[in-house]
């Protein structure tokens, strides 16, 4: 059985939950105060995006191959 490791799946699921929670918090905050957003919502979205990037393996270092 091949595929993503369970830790990667969990990390991507948590990232999605953080992004969804941030969006929900931002929308809810707009109803209460239409001129200002929620800093907490922005922080949740940014952390969720960083976790998603990490979960997808985009932060892993890959030594460049030098081909001649």
pLDDT (mean) for 50-65: 89
Quote the CA–CA distance of 57 and 18 in Å, as a whole number. Answer: 18
In a domain, 42, yes or no: yes
Residues in the chain: 68
What does pTM read for this prediction?
A: 0.79
In a domain, 65, yes or no: no
In a domain, 22, yes or no: yes
In a domain, 32, yes or no: yes
In a domain, 26, yes or no: yes
In a domain, 66, yes or no: no
In a domain, 61, yes or no: no
Residues 20-50 have pLDDT tens digits of 999 999 988 777 667 777 889 999 999 999 9
What's the structural domain count of the chain? 1
In a domain, 67, yes or no: no
Structural domain of 48: 6-55
Of 2, 3, 8, 1, nearest in space to 57 by CA: 8
């Amino acid at each position: 059985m091949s595929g993503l490791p369970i830790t990667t799946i969990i990390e991507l699921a948590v990232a999605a939950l953080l992004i969804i929670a941030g969006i929900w918090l931002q929308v809810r905050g707009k109803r209460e105060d239409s001129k200002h957003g929620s800093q907490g919502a922005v922080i949740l979205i940014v952390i969720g995006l960083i976790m998603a990037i990490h979960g997808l393996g985009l932060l892993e270092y890959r030594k460049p191959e030098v081909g001649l």
